[in-house]
A and B are shown apart, each in its own frame.
Chain A
Amino acid sequence: MELFLQQLFNGVMLGSTYAIVAVGLTLVFGILHVPNFAHGHVYMLGAYLAFFLMTQYGFGFWIALFSSMLIMAAVGVILERVAYRPLRERPHIDSFISAVGTLMILETSVIVIWGPQGRRIPNPYPDIVELFGVTMSHQRLLVILAAVVMILGLHLFIKRTTAGATIEAVAQNREGAMLVGIDVNRVSSLTFAISAATAAAAACLVAPIFIISPTMGALLGMKAFVIVILGGLGSIPGAILGGYILGLVEALGGGYLSAAYKDVYAFGALILILSLRPTGLFGKEVS
């Protein structure tokens, strides 16, 4: 029982990261139709910025985290403007190539600046608590909590603010949104800014528990795509649910079944689910 609870905790923690990253991706992929394969690398750069600010300028953890979010929001805007906007009216696969180019640039830049080796961010909350026989570090609890806060914040932003409403409008009906005078360019920039900032936040939150490296985002980025598709393109609840599902499947599958084959189960299940529900769990019918 204790073992099960511990694995559950591990899975929820993992799922929290997946959920935040996947929500950011579903915004740009589902709403703007940009298959941003560089999303995992945006996440990686967010962690490196925090690392840089903390070690170079002695920033505290939280200030570094918020600075990194701000800078990455700007990076997101630039990325959209340079690499994706010129391709908006073109087949998605063209944006995909642009994304591959972008991830090469991000990864190589980080290697050139900070070297290929893994780096560490000092852990602000290294203490450990034990509850019902489950060992939890404070930082891991923080990740779970922060994920909930960020998801709620994003929800309120989209539902309660005008800027958020424009994003939802474009998501529901792009042409209609343009007709009523919503500036799609501005919505694109805004969406990319949010997407990049949330990815940076997720990266900064888990960085103290993990090690940051130039390739830390590659696998996560791919998993985020799987989650977004599982949840249904453009569906925020779908991405959140998908994130937690994948986290739990990995922790329980890795703990109880074969660790080597755990991705086979997760990805095999996705193929199966999609063959039954071709547009994911929460997806709209595509035309």
Chain B
Amino acid sequence: MKRRSRLVGWVGAAALVVACFGISTGAMGQEEVVIGFTGPLSGVAAEYGQDCVNGIEMAIQDINKAGGITVGGKKHNLKLVRLDDQIDPTQAVNNCRRLKDQHKASVVFNPVFNTLAAMAKINEEKGHEFLIMAYTSTPKMVEMGNKLAVAIPPPFTAYVRTFSELAWEEGWRKAAMVVTLGAYGDEWRAAFRDYWQKKGGQITEDKPANYYAETDFSAQLTAALATKPDFLLIGGPSATTALVIEQARNLGFKGGFVLIDQAKVDYIENILKGVKLLGNTIGVAAVRDIPTPSVPAWDKRYREAYKRMPTWEAVLNYGATHAVARAMEAAGSTTDAVAIRAAFPKAFPMLGDKFPSEYHGVTPGGRIHCPASIQKLDPGGKYGPVLLAAWWFKDRAEFDKFKAARPAQETWAFFKHEKEE
């Protein structure tokens, strides 16, 4: 009697859990092709994650509005399933398993290296492969050698070089760094230090700060400015970077700023309510100034849909989602991740008449050829022309051939890229 009641209790409890579980993982009966996303949708990096997922969502809506993708003579609609991982590798892996198992997703987007590294351990299992779309600019992503991963943004080393060259042209020689702590900031600092010193420049102070948790950077800035630098290398999340700029100017700093590529100058302008403090700033180009014909309309649509300004995260993930759709069509499969990855080169070129940012191809190691777009603001805070840095050509001859075919009003720069070839 007692035993039976106990059994009933346990079975009841187990059933409750399973039922609870069933609600969320419920059967997926539709014919839709699921595109997965796992990333920070809450916590400190929530804004970043949401910018990324907005771009993916907008692309999927556009693709479906245009009739979906055609694979094997059949039309398929795409469907986005977004899961939150709060940059926790355990959760990210859970999410990938879930997307693959329950939703039959063959492609999963993620925007943070620490979670991508954990995902890269499980995406090549035979019969359970899925393609990782990695929104990360660190060369480590490609160095890992995962055969089913595609990196989306330009490598940050392309920015390091271009920024350094531009700063050098300005006659700036003494740099002080107040860059965000963290994997990405550490790599940036190391790469910049290396390049700048090789060039003959000087680094007078290096005071990294926690852009995610702190708000007062006076201590670091005071120390950095005491060395009288020509410019400050700063950057992390855009909102905090705006704060650093304001605090530096309040401490009387009149020199230039170089913003590492995570910080976006147009976003900062928005926070600082103008460009008054932004004179002599070098950074990633403003989205509205990207020199492609489709940007103005895209920019407007994005603002209407999400009630906020578009960032590069949205722009590049938007394009990457289209690239996935095109690769699926080229591969003739929506489920075979290996075939989709193999067909990826056939998705390109994706040009500016249809896409806000151009994609010209993909490296053998798996990074999309997207030019690094750079802008400099003059001493009065006026935006200069956008400089497009191509980093994927083997040599100058190849680059020159490419450039000859481009419209004359575009400014291109060539950088030979040592890694990721």
Whether the complex brings A and B within 8 Å at their CB atoms is answered yes
Which residues on A sit within 8 Å (CB–CB) of B218?
6, 10, 13-14, 251
Q: Are A211 and B271 in contact (CB under 8 A)?
A: yes
B228-252 to A contact mask, C-beta < 8 Å, 1/0: 0000000001011011000100111
* Chain B: CB-nearest residue to A250: B219
Known interface pairs A14-B216, A116-B50, A117-B308; A6-B42 also in contact (CB < 8 Å): no
- Return B139 CB to nearest CB of chain A, in Å: 23
CA distance A137 to B181 in the complex (A): 27
Do B46 and A3 touch (CB < 8 A)?
no
CA distance A210 to B44 in the complex (A): 16
> What's the nearest-Cβ distance from chain B to residue A203, in Å?
11
Do the beta carbons of B271 and A3 come within 8 Å of each other?
no
Given contacts A128-B250, A135-B251, A137-B250, contact A214 B220 (CB under 8 A): no
A135 near B252 with CB under 8 A, answer: yes
**Docked CA distance A122–B88 (Å):** 35
**Contact between chains at A111 and B220 (CB < 8 Å):** no
Nearest-Cβ distance from residue B298 to partner chain A, whole angstroms: 20
Per the bound structure, the CA–CA distance linking A254 and B251 in Å amounts to 16
List the A side residues contacting B271 at CB < 8 Å: 118, 120, 211
Q: A216–B220 contact, CB under 8 A? A: no
Is there contact, CB below 8 Å, between B222 and A259? no
Closest chain-A Cβ to B406's Cβ sits at a distance in Å of: 35
Residues of B within 8 A of A219 (CB): 210, 213-214
- Closest CB-CB distance, A209 to chain B, in whole Å? 8
Which of B46, B47, B181, B218 is the most central at the interface, judged by chain A CB atoms within 10 Å of its CB?
B218
Residue on B nearest A120 in the bound complex, by CB = B271
Known: A14-B216, A117-B308, A210-B215. A6 touches B207 (CB 8 A): no
Contacts of B210 in A (CB 8 A): 219
**Chain A residues within 8 Å of B308, by CB:** 115, 117
- Are B207 and A211 in contact, CB atoms less than 8 angstroms apart? no
CB-nearest residue of chain A to B48:
A116
CA distance A106 to B282 in the complex (A): 38
A10 cross-chain contacts in B, Cβ below 8 A: 216, 218-219, 222
What are the residues of chain A within 8 A of B365 when measuring CB–CB?
A: none
Q: How many residues of A contact B (CB 8 A)?
A: 36
Contact status of A259 and B209, CB under 8 A, knowing A7-B219, A128-B250, A219-B214:
yes
Q: Which of chain A's residues has its CB closest to B252's CB? A: A135
- CB of B186 to closest CB in A, whole Å: 9
Q: How far is the CA of A250 from the CA of B209 in the complex (A)?
A: 12
A108 adjacent to chain B (CB < 8 Å): yes
Of the listed residues B207, B216, B240, the one surrounded by the most CB atoms of chain A closer than 10 A to its CB is B216
Asked if A266 is at the interface (CB within 8 A of a chain B CB), the reply is no
B239 & A213 in contact (Cβ 8 Å cutoff): yes
Asked whether, in the complex, the Cβ of B222 is within 8 Å of the Cβ of A255, the reply is yes
Contact A218 B42, CB 8 Å, known A10-B222, A210-B243: no
With A and B bound together, what is the CA distance between A38 and B304 in angstroms?
Answer: 36
Task: Choose from B208, B215, B219, B242 the contact partner of A251 (Cβ within 8 Å).
Answer: B219
Q: Which partner residue on chain B sits nearest A5 by CB separation?
A: B222
The answer to whether B213 touches A111 (Cβ under 8 A) is no
Residues of A within 8 A of B215 (CB): 206, 209-211, 216
B240 near A118: Cβ-Cβ < 8 Å: yes
The contact sample of 7 A-B pairs, CB cut-off 8 A, is: A6-B251, A7-B222, A14-B216, A118-B237, A206-B215, A215-B43, A218-B44
| Chain A interfacial positions (CB closer than 8 Å to B) | 3, 6-7, 10-11, 13-14, 107-108, 111, 115-118, 120, 128, 135, 137, 206, 209-211, 213-216, 218-219, 250-252, 254-256, 259-260
B residues sitting closer than 8 Å to A (CB atoms) are: 42-44, 46-47, 50, 181, 207-210, 212-216, 218-220, 222-223, 226, 237, 239-240, 242-243, 247, 250-252, 271, 308
14 new A-B pairs (CB below 8 Å) besides A116-B47, A206-B215? A3-B226, A13-B218, A108-B42, A116-B42, A118-B47, A118-B237, A128-B250, A135-B252, A209-B215, A213-B239, A215-B43, A216-B215, A219-B213, A260-B208
